[in-house]
Amino acid sequence: MSQIWVVDSNCFIHLGSMAPATFQKDLFEVLRTQQTSLYVTSGVHSEVRNVRFQRWSGQPNLLEELKPILTTVAIDEGQIRGLGQLIGEKASPQDVDLSLMVLANQLHREGNEVVLVTDDFKMTTTGEKANLGFSTCPPSTFVQRLASLSPRQSRSRLRSLSRRVRAAEMRYAISRVHQYDIQAKLTWMVDSLIDDRPRSQKSKPSNATSLDLKSSLQRHLAGEKLKTKVLKQLGSLPEVCQPILQLDEHLSSLASNINIQSISESYDATLSIHSDVVESIGLRLAPLDEASAELVHSAISGSLYRSETALGLMAKMSGKREVARYHLSNAIQCATLIDDLYAEMHAVYQLGLLATASGNWSRGARLFETAVRQAQSISAPRLPYLVCAGICRHLLGETNTASQHIELSQAIIQTDTHSASLVLLNVGEALLAVDQPGLAMEVLDEAMECSLHLADTSQLDVLAELMLMANAAMTEQDMVHHDGMRELLDGLHELSEHDAGEFEKKIRAIESLAILHAQPLEETWNDWQPSSKLIPEDHTLRVVRTVIDSNEDTLVIVHHSELGSIGLWLPDGEWNISSGHLLSIGVTRVKVAQPPDDLQNQHSIRGIVAVEDSQQLLFQAPTEELLMDHESTSEVTSNK
């Protein structure tokens, strides 16, 4: 369990007035060795935005100097109001303090040991009454604990700072003696100093032994030859875990097969092997004790995570979103057993996209914000999760929280516009793949602004094609999402006057082509014609969406860069087609008719196509995401 510090405004005010010039170096070194950062909410930024380091040369701004080690999390207003009501309006702290308590509680629920640093004793008492799970300490104790974690050369400096901050805290408490009973607060301050050693530093020999055995078991499964003494310690556990190798082998062959043509068959095969392996290991574990079972579950959780994630992604590719959600939720549970925040982050992001697909903005916002915190804790890119969280909060009507997410995103984009343009492109494609073209259009619009700034012509061409497809895929319902969204996302990137002019030209060209693609095809035919007359054999069409009518026939809306969007009628059957799939028609014959007005208005299609031999149709799922997930998580779990 990792330890995290959530820090309130008063602590920063103390540091600003008393910290010496060496404090930044000392603090950064401690947090680096502990692999953590200081967590704050957006409200803290507002309260200390003018605080400066008084004893430093030039008195620099505190927030600017500490920015690299501050992790800022936006808390929605509903959670703050909810905690205030739980505590009681008269007894509750101020909104910024409440937001810190909400954040500390969230981080605690995610499995962290959380210490809220504050000299406001009310936050301690109300937190205990509400059973929020985190502990508290005053700023002086916080600095004292930093000193205990520091190298010898900086330890005395931090202890000296701790004593000065403690003296200020005591003077303030004593000055309020006539306003309230300070005895409880003084007792709390003293108690916090009795054990200034963080819990994470205390020895846990039993856990260390378990970790050693887990590592040995995983190394044995990876093919490493262990010492006889270690094998004796493991006993029968290697044989118990042996079936997991079959699952690993299957996942490797699945990931290496780039041209997966039948996602449904691959899903069924993976699910069958996964079930067989889990059942076999379960039967072998039945006679063993609880400690052995826990060790085995922990050792094989990386393989089970990869399997559940692969199943979830394949289900998502097939349009089975509820099934995908089930597998990805299982993947998160497996990821917690391997203590792999990257794996958890990836699964949470996929679940957020599924929530967005179904229009569940509240669940999507919570999932994306969880991914943001996980990314921050491992120094991973957090831009895609911030943008998606901002979109969801906006659609919930929580404009302040949405703006906070976008402001943080803007700062990231300014730092690395090239990487940001790729991230925004990928987010746009992901939203297209879950049938949210209206939202995708807005994100792709920002990606184009970044690419124009970089003069990246190849990426501009890709974005223009995606925006054209998003425009064709939008329905009247998608248009509603545009209310205020354009204004919100415009804050992501600011164009120069020249780039703004070029951007307008690009948008006008896309709009002109979109108008052309909205017109019915000039040439149609009622007789069977070679399919190559409509689409060359080597060309593919990208699926925008599928619609099943009352007769169980499937209308597939596909997009072509030159033709625009057309509809293909498929006979009754389970096709397992989803947005983003690529379609090759093959060698057959087709008929083309103008679409009925209702279909043309609803889906912006230029024509309706009937295929003589539907067996010639080949739908290919984009497997890049599946490949990337397997490679990255295999590397991460193998390093554990």
Answer whether residue 204 shows pLDDT above 60. no
Helix H or strand E segment including 137: strand 135-137
Q: How many domains does the chain have?
A: 2
Which pair of structure tokens corresponds to residue 52? 């400066």
Instruction: List helix spans (H) across 358-484.
Output: 361-377, 383-395, 399-415, 417-433, 437-454, 457-473, 476-480
Tell me, yes or no, whether 467 lies in a domain.
Answer: no
**pLDDT value, residue 1:** 45
Average pLDDT over residues 545-574: 77
Average pLDDT over residues 624-633: 50
- What DSSP string runs through 207-225? HHHHHHHHHHHHHHHTTPP
pLDDT-derived band at 198 (thresholds 50, 70, 90) equals very low
Residue 573 — left, alpha, or beta (φ > 0 → left; ψ -120 to 50 → alpha)? left
For residues 317 and 419, the model is more confident at 419
Counting every residue, how long is the chain? 640
Inter-axis angle of helices 139-149 and 9-18, nearest 10: 70
Tell me, yes or no, whether 332 lies in a domain.
Answer: no
Average pLDDT over residues 143-170: 87
| Among 34-38, 330-334, 519-523, 565-569, the range of highest mean pLDDT | 565-569
Which pair of structure tokens corresponds to residue 123? 């936050």
Question: Using CA of residue 392, residue 48, residue 95, residue 38, what is the dihedral sign?
Answer: positive
Answer whether residue 631 shows pLDDT above 60. no
Torsion angles phi and psi, residue 639, rounded to 5: -90, -5
Instruction: List helix spans (H) across 338-360.
Output: 341-357
Tell me, yes or no, whether 248 lies in a domain.
Answer: no
Tell me, yes or no, whether 401 lies in a domain.
Answer: no
Q: If you average pLDDT over every residue of the chain, what do you get?
A: 81
Answer whether residue 164 shows pLDDT above 50. yes
Which pair of structure tokens corresponds to residue 410? 């803007």
CATH label of the domain that carries residue 12: 3.40.50.1010
Cα–Cα distance for residue pair 534/337, rounded to 1 Å: 53
Tell me, yes or no, whether 83 lies in a domain.
Answer: yes
Q: What is the pLDDT of residues 112-132, one digit of tens each?
A: 788 999 988 778 777 776 677
Average pLDDT over residues 14-27: 92
State CA 440 to chain mean position distance.
17
**pLDDT value, residue 14:** 92
Tell me, yes or no, whether 576 lies in a domain.
Answer: yes
**pLDDT value, residue 260:** 44
**pLDDT value, residue 207:** 46
Torsion angles phi and psi, residue 378, rounded to 5: -115, 15
**pLDDT value, residue 275:** 93
pLDDT-derived band at 205 (thresholds 50, 70, 90) equals very low
Q: Which residue, among 571, 574, 545, has the nearest Cα to 559 in the 3D structure?
A: 545
Answer whether residue 384 shows pLDDT above 80. yes
Residue owning tokens 């699952």 = 247
| Among 62-76, 123-137, 559-573, the range of highest mean pLDDT | 62-76
Cα–Cα distance for residue pair 4/6, rounded to 1 Å: 7
Tell me, yes or no, whether 137 lies in a domain.
Answer: yes
Q: Which residue, among 95, 91, 98, 90, has the nearest Cα to 116 in the 3D structure?
A: 98
Say which range, 32-41, 68-77, 458-467, 619-628, has the weakest mean pLDDT: 619-628
**At residue 571, what is the residue type?**
P
Cα–Cα distance for residue pair 353/130, rounded to 1 Å: 33
Cα–Cα distance for residue pair 114/252, rounded to 1 Å: 38
In the sheet with 70-73, reading across from the earlier edge strand, the strands are 70-73, 38-41, 3-7, 113-117, 135-137
Of 174, 201, 228, which residue sits at a domain end? 201
CATH label of the domain that carries residue 569: 2.40.50.550
Cβ atoms of residues 634 and 256 within 8 Å: no
Dmax (CA) of the chain: 96
Cβ atoms of residues 367 and 5 within 8 Å: no
**pLDDT value, residue 202:** 38
Cα–Cα distance for residue pair 393/64, rounded to 1 Å: 27
| Among 71-75, 174-178, 534-538, the range of highest mean pLDDT | 71-75
Tell me, yes or no, whether 480 lies in a domain.
Answer: no
Answer whether residue 633 shows pLDDT above 70. no
**At residue 572, what is the residue type?**
D
Q: What is the pLDDT of residues 428-440, one digit of tens each?
A: 988 988 888 889 9
The residue segments making up the domain with residue 37 are 3-201
Answer whether residue 15 shows pLDDT above 90. yes
Which pair of structure tokens corresponds to residue 40? 């704050």
